[in-house]
Amino acid sequence: MRNNKIAVFIRTHAFTPQVAQLAATLTDGFGSEVTMIVDERSGPIETQGHQKISLTEELVRSWGIASLPKDWGWLCGDFCCYAARAAVPDANWYVLIESDVFVTLSAAQILGSHLSQTEADALACSLGRTDAPKIYSKDLEHLGVTSHCGCIFAVTCIRDHVIDEMLPLRVKAQRTGNYRINDEAVLAGALISNDLSFEDLFHSLPNLFSPNYFETNPPHLYEAMPIAEANQSVVHPTIPLDLILERIKTGEKNYSRHRLRKVLREAPRGIRVQIKAALNAKSSG
């Protein structure tokens, strides 16, 4: 009988109230303790008793990965998979969830149940072949792998042997020519080149994952979760009000009314007034 031990991880660079709530929900939903994979290159991060793996340049280089891109903390989320595999070598499923994902308890339970039944080797949204190469998949062609592939990496469920195929591809990419391929390309490329099976979560769990609520941008308002009209949907990205106001002030992410359109639509009146006031102050400053 196939081992179906599920190990769950949150990828983050800070331990915020949002991350704490996500950890609590996933722990209850999957019935096991969640481990933080934390980028600690700028110093230790307190995770309030949660297990953690410190993601450092020293750890990454121990896997034989050279020529690290400066933005590897953002570009190379697959590094979290290798860290997870090393930390929990007896798991069959490695569930990696980014810190700005919103998940309800019942959604976590449904996903866990699905993993115990599916025969697929990996699951992610939009996982598989694409009509045209994505920007960070193009360099796969230099490695003998199709560049017409990708996924959304914010929620991934990957079997142990898939991670074992991903690592050699990443090592080859960084050693051969310092190619700029991202985590999405590594996962999809490893699956397709090794003829492994996979599921697009948009298709296999459409009640939880919808392109209307799960994408790379624009953001949703964390304080408005769960979404009223789709309260079981897994949502990404979700951003709390304090971070929205900070980014408007600093100009990070170029938050405009258009980019914040979903936030403004979802926000209660009081929060919407605060955001609009911040946008007005920024534009007139």
pLDDT (tens digit per residue) in 3-16: 679 999 999 999 99
pLDDT recorded at residue 42: 87
pLDDT recorded at residue 2: 60
pLDDT recorded at residue 3: 67
Q: What is the pTM of this model?
A: 0.96
Coil, helix or strand for 25? helix
For helices 241-250 and 269-284, angle between their N-to-C axes, nearest 10 degrees: 10
* 149 strand-pairing partners: 129
Instruction: Provide the mean pLDDT of the chain.
Output: 95
Q: What amino acid is encoded at 27 in this protein?
A: T
pLDDT recorded at residue 228: 87
Q: How confident is the model at residue 41 (pLDDT cuts 50, 70, 90)?
A: confident
pLDDT tens-digit profile of 126-136?
999 999 999 99
Residue 1: is its pLDDT beyond 50?
no
Residue 94 tokens, joined: 């490695």
Strand ordering across the sheet containing 149-159: 51-55, 35-39, 6-12, 93-98, 149-159, 122-129, 199-200
Q: How confident is the model at residue 176 (pLDDT cuts 50, 70, 90)?
A: confident
pLDDT recorded at residue 152: 98
pLDDT recorded at residue 243: 97
Beta strand ranges found along the chain (DSSP E): 6-12, 35-39, 51-55, 93-98, 122-129, 149-159, 199-200, 220-221, 238-239
- Which range is least confidently modeled, 149-163, 165-179, 218-232? 165-179
Q: Give Cα separations from 255 to 60, 101, 176, 271, 278 (angstroms).
A: 33, 19, 37, 16, 10
